[in-house]
Chain A
Amino acid sequence: MKRFLGACLVVLLASPAACHREPERPSRGRLRVAAAADLNAGLPDLVSRFSAAHAVDVSVSYGSSGTFYAQLLNEAPFDLFFSADVEYPRMLKERRLTLPDSDFSYAVGRIVLWVPSASAIDPRRDGLRALTAASIAHVSIANPDHAPYGRAAVAAMKTAGVYDAVRSKLVFGENVAQALQFVQSGAADAGIVALSLALAPAARDTGRFAEIPLADYPRIEQGGVILRWAMDVEAARAFRSFVLGGDGRAILKQYGFSMPNE
């Protein structure tokens, strides 16, 4: 025990010294971002461009917006939150968990009908009507109870007049990425997923898709906020401006999003 205490003492005494010995370097900002899963493909590009230009290290966690919301209610250690809808940021704002006037809307999600390359149906020719084919046993979408992309998928099927016929074929992914994974694994025959995922390298070469017209479902407007407990407010504001600026918008468009004010 004595030896253990001695060792502790040595460590305690040595640690400040060790800190001092670290070479002085220009302090880099640090940014912790919580981002909706559909940003998985596009955001890394934005982040690398931004951190190169601004000397800020950005770490991003991807996940379901609803999960992040529940975590942020408990003050999860993030500076910036990119949600897959505008409701979660709005509710955070109402609870005064955000910096004043920090909410923004950065993109509009788009959905596509996605089938594996070998599928017998042709989404481009038949659109959502293709889902009524007998060869389609399971259609996967994100869970419409809580995922914006799932709600959009249901609305689009209703607009196309196929919802009642397809309803019994639906299976629900926890989020839109899992909905795509169900189709890619062959477990489901078709899926209604985010364009941003369909364009990602992992999906691009394994399937075909057709975009569903934006007018056929409520807009999937995506918003974000800076959290009240953000450590580096300057960096958070800079990143927000970058995403909303010309370069950011161009990158997001390239990855399958529309812009809120277009």
Chain B
Amino acid sequence: MDWTALWLSVRLATSTTAVLLAIGVPLAYWIVFSPRRWKFIVEAIVALPLVLPPTVLGFYVLIAIGPLSPAGRLYARLAGHGLPFTFQGLLIASVLYSMPFAVQPFSAEFASVDRRLLEASWTLGVSRAETFRRVVLPLSIRGLVTGIVLSFAHTLGEFGVVLMVGGNLPGITRTVSISIYDAVQSLDYAAASRTSLLLLIVSFAILAATYALQRSVWIKAR
């Protein structure tokens, strides 16, 4: 069992989820409450990773964070080293890749909050930010949990993107899915199936827990 790879995947998934929570909530809020007509374009961009092959995304990310792009060069100048083949580079790729799995449940839940509650809060003189914190967020726990769990699980199972941008470095970019692939390639089918089984159990446990949680919240809401 490749524990280093498993631990790396858990760290990557945790970091990705944290970043997605930080940028996904404001983004979902904007998508739901902004009056802008062109916000459908933003929605489409956020949803792109759902339909794009991970190889396409990985290829673009590799170019975008590499020294051929201005952003990649700027980062290299500031940080002293480039982004490809680093944990940070992988994190950027994962955030983009899992974005719809966080933003879509968030925004769906925000949108389902009864508008009358919001208007009541506003007319009572509570600011928009405060209304969001005290009305929208508490009513959206279910969507938030779903988004968090899905982005965590999705990052845990990420393969194509990591393969394209990672460089397969133990402890830095060799995630558990890559490690399984390597084991198969090296004909170590026993190791591959052990790790695969663990990943299967973990993924199932996470999803089962989420659905169970949703159900109880749903029943209480009645």
Chain A residues within CB distance 8 Å of chain B: 64, 66-67, 69-70, 91, 137-138, 140, 143, 145-147, 171-174, 178, 182, 185-188
- Assuming A137-B81, A185-B68, is B186 touching A145 (CB within 8 A)? yes
Secondary structure class of chain B's binding surface, majority of residues: loop
- Assuming A185-B63, A186-B67, A187-B66, is B167 touching A138 (CB within 8 A)? yes
In the A-B complex, the 6 residue pairs with the closest CB atoms = A171-B167, A187-B84, A172-B168, A146-B185, A66-B185, A186-B68
Q: Are A140 and B182 in contact (CB under 8 A)?
A: no
A69 surroundings in chain B (CB, below 8 A)? 187
Least Cβ–Cβ distance between A174 and chain B, in angstroms: 6
| Nearest-neighbor residue (CB-CB) of A175 within chain B | B185
A70 surroundings in chain B (CB, below 8 A)? 184, 187, 189
A145 surroundings in chain B (CB, below 8 A)? 182, 185-186
Q: Are A67 and B167 in contact (CB under 8 A)?
A: no
Inter-chain residue pair count (beta carbon < 8 A)? 65
B144 surroundings in chain A (CB, below 8 A)? none
| Nearest-neighbor residue (CB-CB) of B192 within chain A | A70
Q: Are A187 and B85 in contact (CB under 8 A)?
A: yes
Q: Are A143 and B168 in contact (CB under 8 A)?
A: yes
Q: Are A171 and B85 in contact (CB under 8 A)?
A: yes
Q: Are A185 and B62 in contact (CB under 8 A)?
A: yes
Q: Are B163 and A138 in contact (CB under 8 A)?
A: no
In whole angstroms, what is the CA distance A67 to B169 when docked?
Answer: 21
| Contacting residues of chain B (170-186) with chain A, CB-CB under 8 angstroms | 181-182, 184-186
Which of A64, A146, A182 makes the CB contact (< 8 A) with B167? A182
Q: Are B186 and A187 in contact (CB under 8 A)?
A: no
Indicate if B49 sits at the interface (CB-CB under 8 A). no
Other than A66-B184, A137-B82, give 14 A-B pairs with Cβ distance below 8 A: A69-B187, A145-B185, A145-B186, A146-B186, A147-B185, A172-B167, A172-B168, A182-B167, A185-B63, A185-B66, A186-B66, A186-B67, A187-B167, A188-B84
Q: Are B169 and A172 in contact (CB under 8 A)?
A: yes
Which of B62, B81, B163, B187 makes the CB contact (< 8 A) with A66? B187
In whole angstroms, what is the CA distance A206 to B189 when docked?
Answer: 39
| Nearest-neighbor residue (CB-CB) of B65 within chain A | A187
B184 surroundings in chain A (CB, below 8 A)? 66-67, 70
B81 surroundings in chain A (CB, below 8 A)? 137
Least Cβ–Cβ distance between B148 and chain A, in angstroms: 31
